[in-house]
């Protein structure tokens, strides 16, 4: 019996699957049960920023496991404190405390709760084309079709359009125009919803799984300014892009912005042990020096997860991973993917930054009709499935989201591996049944 059939898979039609069973890994590669190696161009779900089996992270987990595997959150813990110190040290100005969670979704839930307690207001704004998690609040904030099946319209979420020049909602033709118009639109939404009803605004600093959309320069600064002007808590969702993915420690750093709350997960410890958290601004933290924070988790700041964070962040400093991610984007992935767009008519747009890129596949470059519709499964998704199969046959693990191929190798991928990944994508694009 294929034991994978006993596992209920998130976001998936259940039933037998034709996928390799992975049993090992090292650096940018994973190995299946037959010994075949695959270059991991997905960093799994964009979290193994330091690749697989990084010796420093593995050693940190082992050392902590030998010393003290677990502790309740109420105890003081040396490793938890050290993880918090390392996180705060690289965080934007004014974010001096960390609430640890076990992942990104929980971090979003807690940030929203804090914003509501701080302002006494009910609503939360978020962008169309966003993903913030799959629990009740976070799925309602999610702005893409993954929300639809769960949306009861009762969570106080209000959506707005962020800047996205390729499919502009504002008829813009330049990034500057798109930025200006998106900010004017957001201001209208705030004014018409009523600023006194809006607790917070949650925004991915670079939109990740809903399209890899990099905001134009000045947009995040404009959002910061609007939130400050209207007393709205600005929550930066850095679950996917925090800890180096974009070639900066955090996505907000590209625009020189400090949010009131910042949620993180994934790259904080390359996902070796589940960990997420909320970086908390001083004003909000101050409120909870007068009264208790009314929420918690049994595994908040789990020692093994915190040890993995200490190992990962230390390695990132030692190996200059953030700088490597910036170079990966400007010198290798950006130019390489644009070259692919020159060869393959099916690629409508290439966009990204650092170690996070996307090729959007279209039926027609003029109409920009997506190659497969949103939420496509089965026959309607056949073109993307045939591309995925072509990648796996050639020894590459791809990350496919709807009509897009996301490209997100480990940030420490070697130049040679990155080049061979690009060559496999080229070959698979030619071989796929589009």
Q: Looking at beta carbons only, is 124 or 347 nearer to ligand PLP? A: 124
Q: How far is CA 359 from CA 11, 174, 205, 213, 324, in A?
A: 22, 20, 19, 11, 22
Q: How far is the CB of 273 from ligand PLP (least distance, A)?
A: 12
Q: Looking at beta carbons only, is 8 or 18 nearer to ligand PLP? A: 8
Q: Which helix (H) or strand (E) holds 229?
A: helix 219-230
- How do beta strands 37-40 and 198-204 pair? unpaired
Q: How far is the CB of 434 from ligand PLP (least distance, A)?
A: 27
Q: How far is the CB of 3 from ligand PLP (least distance, A)?
A: 24
Binding interface with ligand PLP (CB under 6 A)? 45, 103-105, 108, 131-133, 204, 208-209, 237, 239-240, 265, 276
Q: Looking at beta carbons only, is 204 or 349 nearer to ligand PLP? A: 204
Q: How far is the CB of 277 from ligand PLP (least distance, A)?
A: 11
Q: How far is the CB of 387 from ligand PLP (least distance, A)?
A: 21
Q: Which residue is nearest to ligand PLP (CB)?
A: 104
Closest by alpha carbon to 44, among 52, 36, 56, 33? 52
Q: Looking at beta carbons only, is 237 or 255 nearer to ligand PLP? A: 237
Q: How far is the CB of 9 from ligand PLP (least distance, A)?
A: 14
Q: Looking at beta carbons only, is 7 or 33 nearer to ligand PLP? A: 7
- Residue-by-residue DSSP string for 289-321: TTS--S---TTTT-HHHHHHHHHHHHHHHHTTH
What is the C-alpha to C-alpha distance for residues 396 and 30, in angstroms, rounded to an integer?
A: 9
Reported residue count of the chain is: 434
Give me the sheet containing 396-397, strands edge to edge: 22-26, 29-32, 37-40, 396-397
**Residue 291 phi/psi, 5° resolution?**
-145, 160
Q: Looking at beta carbons only, is 206 or 428 nearer to ligand PLP? A: 206
Q: How far is the CB of 106 from ligand PLP (least distance, A)?
A: 7
Q: Looking at beta carbons only, is 394 or 404 nearer to ligand PLP? A: 404
What is the C-alpha to C-alpha distance for residues 428 and 392, in angstroms, rounded to an integer?
A: 9
CB 25 within 8 A of CB 35: no
For residue 88, what are its two tokens? 């705060």
CB 292 within 8 A of CB 272: no
């Amino acid at each position: 019996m294929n034991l994978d059939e006993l596992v209920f898979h998130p976001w998936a039609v259940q039933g037998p699957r034709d996928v390799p069973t992975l049993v090992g890994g090292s650096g940018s590669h994973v190995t299946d049960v037959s010994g075949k190696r695959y270059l991991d161009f997905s960093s799994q779900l964009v979290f193994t920023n330091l690749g697989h089996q990084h010796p420093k992270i593995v050693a940190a987990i082992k050392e902590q496991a030998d010393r003290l595997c677990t502790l309740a959150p109420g105890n003081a813990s040396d490793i938890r404190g050290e993880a918090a110190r390392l996180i705060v040290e690289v965080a934007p100005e004014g974010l001096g405390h960390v609430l640890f969670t076990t992942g990104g979704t929980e971090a979003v839930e807690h940030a929203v709760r804090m914003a509501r307690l701080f302002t006494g207001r009910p609503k939360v704004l978020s962008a169309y084309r966003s993903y913030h998690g799959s629990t009740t609040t976070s799925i309602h904030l999610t702005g893409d079709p993954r929300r639809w099946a769960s949306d009861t319209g009762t969570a106080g979420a209000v959506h707005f359009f962020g800047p996205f020049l390729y499919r502009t909602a504002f008829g813009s033709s330049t990034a500057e125009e798109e930025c200006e118009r998106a900010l004017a639109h957001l201001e209208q939404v705030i004014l018409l919803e009523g600023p006194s009803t809006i607790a917070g605004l949650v925004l991915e600093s670079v939109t990740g799984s809903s399209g890899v959309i990099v905001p134009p320069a000045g947009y995040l600064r404009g959002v910061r300014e609007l939130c400050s002007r209207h007393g709205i808590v600005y929550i930066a969702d850095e679950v996917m892009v925090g800890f180096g993915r974009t070639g900066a420690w955090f996505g907000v750093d590209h625009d020189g912005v400090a949010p009131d709350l910042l949620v993180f997960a994934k790259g904080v410890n390359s996902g070796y042990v589940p960990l997420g958290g909320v970086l908390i601004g001083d004003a909000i933290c101050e409120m909870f020096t007068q009264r208790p924070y009314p929420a918690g988790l049994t595994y908040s700041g789990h020692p093994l997860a915190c040890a993995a964070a200490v190992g990962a962040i230390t390695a990132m400093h030692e190996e200059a991973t953030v700088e490597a991610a910036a170079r990966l984007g400007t010198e290798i992935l950006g130019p390489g993917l644009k070259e692919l767009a020159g060869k393959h008519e099916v690629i409508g747009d290439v966009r990204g930054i650092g170690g996070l890129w996307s090729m959007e596949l279209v039926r027609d470059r003029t109409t920009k009709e997506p190659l497969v519709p949103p939420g496509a499964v089965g026959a309607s998704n056949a073109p993307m499935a045939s591309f995925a199969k072509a990648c796996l046959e050639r020894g590459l693990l791809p990350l496919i989201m709807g009509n897009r191929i996301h490209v997100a190798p480990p940030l420490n991928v070697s130049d040679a591996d990155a080049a061979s990944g690009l060559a496999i994508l080229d070959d698979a694009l030619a071989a796929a049944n589009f």
